[in-house]
Amino acid sequence: NAGVTQTPKFQVLKTGQSMTLQCAQDMNHEYMSWYRQDPGMGLRLIHYSVGAGITDQGEVPNGYNVSRSTTEDFPLRLLSAAPSQTSVYFCASSYSTSGRHEQFFGPGTRLTVL
Amino acid sequence: GESVGLHLPTLSVQEGDNSIINCAYSNSASDYFIWYKQESGKGPQFIIDIRSNMDKRQGQRVTVLLNKTVKHLSLQIAATQPGDSAVYFCAENGGYSSASKIIFGSGTRLSIRP
């Protein structure tokens, strides 16, 4: 299993540009999430999904869209990039059993917005 | 690569000693808690979890203690090794039934002295 994969690893955008960060998992997990991590900070939840076709907002959803058309993929779209969106973005997938919940994280995408 | 955790509190421990990392949470509705380890340049890695109906849970060299009265969580690492150097985050579910809505708390950088 490849686990959780994210592309690209690095990206530089200009203010106002749009792009999609890709996330895929091959573990057949129901749940997927997107987080951002700024320097010196913890991870903040952007959007999450509890299954194909179902998504919801996290702590910091503004400026981002998601969709979940398949179990495997959960892309994150930046609509109009702003310097405040410079961050490291992590995707996670997880399963839940007996009230326990183990998340597996991808390697991250390092995004710089100029 | 991008550095994270530049301004996080740091705990310095002698190799072989036990480490205790603390975390306070504010949401009294939270009933599920997780500790993650994040090494430089990588995504977080699940270490251990605990549900609110427990006070203590042990894993391999790690123990999590939960004090619901004062909303405090701690991670104890026995016989700390150089490979334990990382940033450690606590996370909670905020009482949400959705297993995806895991919210991260502040982190602590663990530094090991030889």
By Cβ distance, the residue of B6, B43, B101 closest to A107 is: B43
- Residues of chain B in contact with residue A8, where contact means CB-CB under 8 angstroms, are none
Hey, are the CB atoms on B104 and A44 less than 8 Å from each other? yes
- Residues of chain A in contact with residue B1, where contact means CB-CB under 8 angstroms, are 110
Hey, are the CB atoms on A35 and B104 less than 8 Å from each other? yes
Query: pLDDT tens, B93-114?
Result: 877 765 568 889 879 999 999 8
Q: Which two tokens stand for residue A29?
A: 């997990």
Hey, are the CB atoms on B5 and A39 less than 8 Å from each other? yes
Number of other CB atoms surrounding residue A83 within 10 Å: 10
Hey, are the CB atoms on B8 and A94 less than 8 Å from each other? no
Q: Which A-chain residues 7-26 have CB contacts (< 8 A) with chain B?
A: none
Mean pLDDT of A57-64: 95
Hey, are the CB atoms on B93 and A101 less than 8 Å from each other? yes
Query: Hey, is the C-beta of B94 within 8 angstroms of any chain A C-beta?
Result: no
Pick the closest to residue B40 from B91, B83, B90 (CA basis): B83
- Name the region of A14 (left: φ>0; alpha: ψ -120 to 50; beta: rest): beta
For the cut 90, the answer to whether the pLDDT of residue B2 exceeds it is: no
CB B15 within 8 A of CB B80: yes
* Nearest residue on chain A to B7, alpha-carbon basis: A40
Query: pLDDT tens, B52-85?
Result: 999 999 999 999 999 999 999 999 999 999 999 9
CB B100 within 8 A of CB B71: no
pLDDT at B5: 40
- Name the region of B31 (left: φ>0; alpha: ψ -120 to 50; beta: rest): alpha
Query: Hey, is the C-beta of A65 within 8 angstroms of any chain B C-beta?
Result: no
- Name the region of A65 (left: φ>0; alpha: ψ -120 to 50; beta: rest): beta
The answer to which of A48-52, A97-101, A110-114 has the lowest mean pLDDT is A97-101
